[in-house]
Amino acid sequence: MYKTFLTVIASLLASFGAVAAPNPEMIVVCYPGGAVNVKDANGAMTSMLRVVEHVGQWQENSFNSLFTTKTDECKKLIAEHNPRFAITSLGLFLELRNQHNLLPVVQPKIKGRTSERYRVMVQKDKYKSLDELKDKTLGGTVLEEPSFIGKIVFAGKYDPASFFALKSSNQAIRSLRALDKGELDAVMLNEQQFGALDSLHLQTALEAIFTSEEIPLMGVVANSAKTTAEERARFGKALEGMCADVEGKKLCDLFGVESFVNVDEAAFEPVLKLWTEEN
């Protein structure tokens, strides 16, 4: 139910080397906490890779991908393959950017926005403030990266690992149904998950007891030491044409992505500052 733009952009990466590609360039794709089946994800990515190769006029099978939903495995894959391009969560980008010279290249635009807010949902009228959730259970798929939640989502004001009893899940709907039954005290949702709440028809009314500041949506990152500005610009232009392509539009529509846009560096400054201040 909760489709993510990370799955669709997972296949929008291409090699900028020679035209022929007997050894496809490997792209590391990280989706922490997701419930995506790796086999299904790789199948979908293969289809999308062929589309972007067509849009960008690269030879078929010029590149391939490695997909994982595990944070530690993602770090290991990036260390082993040292890819020129990758797809990561914002938390992983912030953690790995200095070590691997990462720069954000493109972002997805969803419902006219390239940013999102995170919310902590509780049963209506049960709690009055986030402080009342001290030592209470907090569920959700986004809890796979507690450092990101604490430093960026909570802007350093709460350490989720010590403040809450965390109950991470790979399915938001499972956490929400547990909240509905009173088995969880709260659930953290990202923008897409929050937008799908009405379709669940839960028995208990919910409300947001906390809403974060705007946080940029994460897309594709590049290793600035292994790519040139020209290569990154060419890649961005190719992605901008992805959703305008007949076949590409079908894929974009499927995952609710309107378009891909070049990164506005200013939009990342607040989160970079927060991360630096807290490290």
Share of the chain above pLDDT 70, in %: 84
Domain boundaries, the chain: 2-113+218-263, 115-215
CA distance 159 to 161: 6
User: Exposed (0-12), middle (13-18) or buried (19+): which is 181, by Cβ within 10 Å?
Assistant: exposed
pLDDT band (50, 70, 90) for residue 112: very high
**In the block, residue with structure tokens 């922490």:** 32
Give me 3's structure tokens: 């489709």
Indicate the CATH number for domain 115-215. 3.40.190.10
Q: What is the model's pLDDT at position 12?
A: 46
Q: Answer whether 2-113+218-263 and 115-215 agree in fold.
A: yes
133-176 pLDDT tens trace: 999 999 999 998 999 999 999 999 999 999 999 999 988 999 99
6-50 pLDDT tens trace: 555 554 443 333 344 557 777 788 878 665 566 666 666 667 667
Residues in the chain: 279
Give the domain 2-113+218-263 fold.
Answer: D-Maltodextrin-Binding Protein; domain 2 (3.40.190)
Mean confidence (pLDDT) of the chain: 85
Q: What is the model's pLDDT at position 38?
A: 63
pLDDT band (50, 70, 90) for residue 246: confident
Whole-prediction pTM value? 0.85
